[in-house]
């Protein structure tokens, strides 16, 4: 038997107030969203690692639309062998770490921010400048990552719930270091 607790969503910004009461099943959907987006990026990273050595230069040179606002930047990145060595490691490794963090629910806000940043970078690379292409799937993924962070999805059936309560100097971690709330949740 489950107990239903009424939660209230409320936000005020720029003179606009948003209010709502989430459904009792919302927590399950938040956890599912965290698992699904975590699995998506985990397997993207595993795919890159399994085909080692990974090389992002092909995407940066040929996969970026010429009308993209970052096409010149990405081409310059691809032209730098030293930078490409770093990028070729950072992309797959961070994708695996982000996926693992989201699936286990640890450091969810940090992981979700990393996922959103990657998806937004891919979105900018693929944007053709046409307004019809504005709502690309990578932009949707970026928003999903941000939603997972905003919902504090690591506190729902996740490791963040326990990490926040770790005893540090006689206090729960989150009380001793309040800024950790921006990484956990």
The string of pLDDT tens digits covering residues 134-152 is 788 899 999 999 999 999 8
| Percentage, residues of the chain above pLDDT 70 | 96
Whether residue 1 is predicted with pLDDT greater than 80 in this model: the reply is no
Instruction: Note the pLDDT tens digit of each residue in 112-134.
Output: 999 999 999 999 888 877 777 67
Q: For position 182, what pLDDT does the model report?
A: 83
Contact 179, 78 (CB under 8 A): no
For residue 6, the model assigns a pLDDT of 60
Q: Left if phi > 0, otherwise alpha if psi is -120 to 50, otherwise beta: which for 6?
A: beta
Q: Alpha carbon 146 to chain centroid distance?
A: 6
Confidence of residue 80 (pLDDT cuts 50, 70, 90): very high
């Amino acid at each position: 038997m489950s107990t239903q607790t009424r939660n209230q969503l409320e936000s005020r910004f720029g003179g606009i107030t948003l209010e709502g009461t989430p459904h009792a099943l919302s927590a399950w959907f938040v956890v599912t969203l965290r698992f699904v987006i975590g699995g998506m990026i985990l397997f993207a990273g595993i795919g890159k690692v399994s085909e080692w050595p990974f090389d992002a230069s092909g995407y940066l040179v040929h996969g970026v639309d010429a009308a993209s606002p970052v096409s010149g930047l990405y081409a310059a990145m691809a032209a730098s062998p030293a930078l490409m060595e770093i990028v070729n490691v950072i992309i797959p490794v961070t994708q695996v770490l982000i996926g693992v963090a989201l699936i286990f629910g640890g450091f969810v806000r940090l992981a979700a921010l990393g996922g959103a940043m990657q998806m937004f970078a891919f979105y900018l690379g693929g944007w053709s400048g046409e307004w019809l292409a504005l709502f690309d799937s990578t932009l949707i993924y970026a928003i999903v990552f941000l939603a997972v962070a905003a919902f504090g999805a690591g506190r729902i059936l996740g490791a963040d719930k326990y990490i926040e309560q770790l005893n540090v100097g006689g206090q729960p971690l989150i009380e001793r270091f309040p800024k950790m709330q921006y990484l956990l949740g």
